[in-house]
Amino acid sequence: MYLSKSDIEQTERIKRLNIINAVTGIKPANLIGTRSEDGEANVAIFSSVVHLGSDPALLGFVLRPQHEKPRDTYINIKSSGAYTINHVPISLIENAHFTSAKFPKKISEFERCGFTEEYLFDFHAPFVKESYLKIGLELVEEIPISSNRTIMMIGQIVHLEFPDEVMGEHGHLDLEKLETAGISGVDSYYQLRKKDQFPYAHVKDVPDFK
Ligand SMILES: Cc1cc2nc3c(=O)[nH]c(=O)nc-3n(C[C@H](O)[C@H](O)[C@H](O)COP(=O)(O)O)c2cc1C
């Protein structure tokens, strides 16, 4: 299969969305938890979380355009400056998937989709109790992406929790042990298996691949 720019542009919308959403490879499956000014908890699945740097510890995620109807995740992050990112455990991918439904504001996706709100470390935003890796973030920057009106939300990690046994000596986290799911497109979920681990790639240490 070969697709040029014009082939892509002429592809039917849903088919194009599925293709282009898959071409980056496996994306992380995360639930983002927020709380409104009225105290209502909100949670939804996001696949666009990306590591931006470790010092300071910054993560970004991309939000769909919000100019027509801002969604709860965006509204709550803007009003509180706080949100949580929680890995989706492989046993709960179906529950996590359906948090993406456009529920009315009054309905809690936590309750409807079988997740439990958990308030830890005096943090404003809810963590997802069922998740094995939980991150609390403070919003530090919002970057509008003018080419398609999406928004990159950048947050600094202020809380991080995971089971002791998943961390190796030098801080490697074993995502297989964490039972974290992966995503392709917006509807396909993968189980992760750790294959190998290599040392820092010094030129002098590159194996002879010939
Ligand atoms: C697998 C999957 C991945 C998703 N990733 C994103 C994403 O990265 N960014 C985004 O804006 N919406 C994403 N969505 C859509 C949101 O989950 C959906 O818009 C949700 O309703 C947002 O929650 P809110 O309305 O409570 O803010 C994704 C949906 C699915 C099913």
**How do residues 44-66 score in pLDDT, each as one tens digit?**
999 999 999 999 999 999 999 99
Which atom, in ligand 1's list, is nearest to the CA of 43? Answer: 26
**44 C-alpha to center of ligand 1: Å?**
6
Candidates 150, 136, 40, 30; CA nearest to 87 is 30
Mutation choice for ligand 1 from 36, 46, 152, CB with most ligand atoms inside 8 A: 46
Token pair of 125, please?
A: 């935003």
Mutation choice for ligand 1 from 26, 45, 95, 109, CB with most ligand atoms inside 8 A: 45
115-119 contacts, C-beta under 8 A, 24 or more apart? 115/31, 115/43, 117/33, 117/41, 117/43
**206 C-alpha to center of ligand 1: Å?**
40
**3-class DSSP string for the chain:** CCCCHHHHHHCCHHHHHHHHHHCCCCEECEEEEEECCCCCEEEEEECCCEEEEECCEEEEEEECCCCCCCCHHHHHHHHHCEEEEEECEHHHHHHHHHHHCCCCCCCCHHHHCCCCEECCCCCCCCEECCCCCEEEEEEEEEEEECCCCEEEEEEEEEEEECCHHHECCCCCECCCCCCEEEEECCCEEEECCCCCCCCCCCHHHCCCCC
Which atom, in ligand 1's list, is nearest to the CA of 34? Answer: 26
Does residue 35 line the site of ligand 1, with CB under 6 A? no
CATH no. of 13-205: 2.30.110.10
pTM of the model: 0.96
The length of the chain is 210
Give, using CA atoms, the residue closest to atom 13 of ligand 1: 46
**How do residues 87-139 score in pLDDT, each as one tens digit?**
999 999 999 999 999 998 888 999 999 999 999 999 999 999 999 999 999 99
Give, using CA atoms, the residue closest to atom 6 of ligand 1: 46
**How do residues 148-193 score in pLDDT, each as one tens digit?**
999 999 999 999 999 999 999 899 999 999 999 999 999 999 999 9
pLDDT given for residue 145 in this prediction: 97
pLDDT given for residue 105 in this prediction: 81
Mean pLDDT of 57-80: 95
Sorted by where each begins, the domain ranges of the chain are 13-205
